[in-house]
Amino acid sequence: MQTFNVKTRNFTYPVVIGNGAWRTLRKFPFRKYTSIFVITERGLWNRWGKLFLEESGLSAVTTLLVAPGERSKSLRVLERLSGQLLKQGADRRSCLALFGGGVVGDLGAFLASVYMRGIDCIHVPTTILAQVDSSVGGKTAVNLGEMKNLIGTFHPGRMVVSDFRVLSSLGHWDFRSGLYEVVKHAILGGPALCQQLEASLPRLQLKDREALEAVLPPAVKVKVDVVNRDERERNLRMTLNLGHTFGHALEEATGYRRFLHGEAVGWGLLAIAQLGERLRLLAPEEGTRIARLVQRLGPLPSIRDISTARILRLLPQDKKTVGGKIQWVIPERIGKVRVVSDVPRRAVAAAFQDIQEMDPSLWAPA
């Protein structure tokens, strides 16, 4: 188990990750709150709620349920939850425990940031993505129709506790999807973390706890370090967008139905490595190493039928666009990326065509 501290403007909070992390909540000052509300999903809470309460030492909690899935990140659900909080007596000194993946975390933290102008929350992330990424850094959001994360706030949790045991019930695809984000963090983190990931992959795929312990804490540390240096997304935080510019375009081009988010990021990482090579920013051996890491997670859904023109049209809609210019996060080598804004369209098109020519059915899982 490891603990990392994240500094915000007003306070510092611990991110505890590893087997037994929930037990560290026993030291959390719950006593200073008038009531604790758990925001979660029914299936998840049925499976893990009892153990969570035992380990954390919490007893009198009220659970508020949201339906699984991205659609719950909406103003409608936010309104319903606010009403439920009010009805059940939540006041300014209530605390929300956000028990779930990135959907529960983003929605619940947004709710905490606006309910009575802001109450405290803690994150209890239950997916890989939520453990290594979304629970840390304080970004909250809901979607507006198809516009992902359009409405949101900054509202960091007071503590993040990521226990690995909860990952054991994740479905194969959700588990694997989260690993693409771990690959992203490894590329940002540097050769040592990449090597660790390469060595752990076969056992990681089996949700082996030791393999998780070897890889997830250093992966979340990459995020912690970035957030500590740049809380409100000036430049550095943008680097976390690696692989996501192409990834978001692919998700949009397929109406969010074909890929799990991580799978789209997997393709996005392959594309950005190609783009880096084409711009001569990234050495071919490094590009190959990045591609190999992605491919070892196994086959990805095909992208053969998606036209390059459509992807090019969708790219500038990325939220990270500034003044109409896409901010490309391009690896220069493993452990170093550069943000480039003037990339020629034909290089982008060529990089996308490069990955379209890859045959994902040949990628056997490690």
Ligand X SMILES: NC(=O)c1ccc[n+]([C@@H]2O[C@H](COP(=O)([O-])OP(=O)(O)OC[C@H]3O[C@@H](n4cnc5c(N)ncnc54)[C@H](O)[C@@H]3O)[C@@H](O)[C@H]2O)c1
Interatomic CA distance for residues 330 and 276, integer angstroms? 6
Q: Does 245 bind ligand X (CB under 6 A)?
A: no
Residue count (the chain) = 366
Q: Does 198 bind ligand X (CB under 6 A)?
A: no
Q: Does 236 bind ligand X (CB under 6 A)?
A: no
Short-list 175, 317, 328, CA closest to 260: 175
Interatomic CA distance for residues 119 and 113, integer angstroms? 6
Nearest residue (CB) to ligand X, 56 versus 127: 127
Q: Which stretch binds ligand X (CB under 6 A): 27-35, 132-140, 329-337, 345-353?
A: 132-140
Q: Does 139 bind ligand X (CB under 6 A)?
A: yes
Lookup result for tokens 């959907």: 103
Distance set, CA 204 to CA 208, 269, 280 (Å)? 6, 20, 33
Q: Does 233 bind ligand X (CB under 6 A)?
A: no
Nearest residue (CB) to ligand X, 144 versus 199: 144
| 251 backbone φψ class: left, alpha, beta (φ>0; ψ -120 to 50) | alpha
Lookup result for tokens 């999807």: 177
Nearest residue (CB) to ligand X, 154 versus 321: 154
- Shortest gap between Cβ of 108 and ligand X (angstroms)? 11
Q: Does 163 bind ligand X (CB under 6 A)?
A: no
Q: Contacts with ligand X in 4-63 (CB under 6 A)?
A: 41, 44
Contact letters for ligand X, residues 86-105 (x by CB under 6 A): --------------xxxxx-
Interatomic CA distance for residues 268 and 11, integer angstroms? 35
- Helix (H) or strand (E) run with residue 325 in it: none
Q: Does 68 bind ligand X (CB under 6 A)?
A: yes
Q: How many CB atoms lie within 10 A of CB 12?
A: 11
- Shortest gap between Cβ of 210 and ligand X (angstroms)? 19
- Shortest gap between Cβ of 20 and ligand X (angstroms)? 16
CA 78 to chain centroid: 21
Q: Does 134 bind ligand X (CB under 6 A)?
A: yes
Q: Does 252 bind ligand X (CB under 6 A)?
A: no
Interatomic CA distance for residues 180 and 175, integer angstroms? 9
Q: Which one among 1, 49, 70, 366 touches ligand X, defined by CB under 6 A?
A: 70
Q: Does 350 bind ligand X (CB under 6 A)?
A: no
Q: Enumerate residues 6+ apart whose C-beta is below 8 A from 231.
A: 7, 8, 9, 137, 138, 154, 237
- Shortest gap between Cβ of 223 and ligand X (angstroms)? 8
The residues of the shown chain that bind ligand X, judged by CB under 6 A, are 41, 44, 68, 70, 73, 100-104, 106, 126-127, 129-130, 133-134, 137, 139, 148-149, 166-167, 169-170, 174, 261
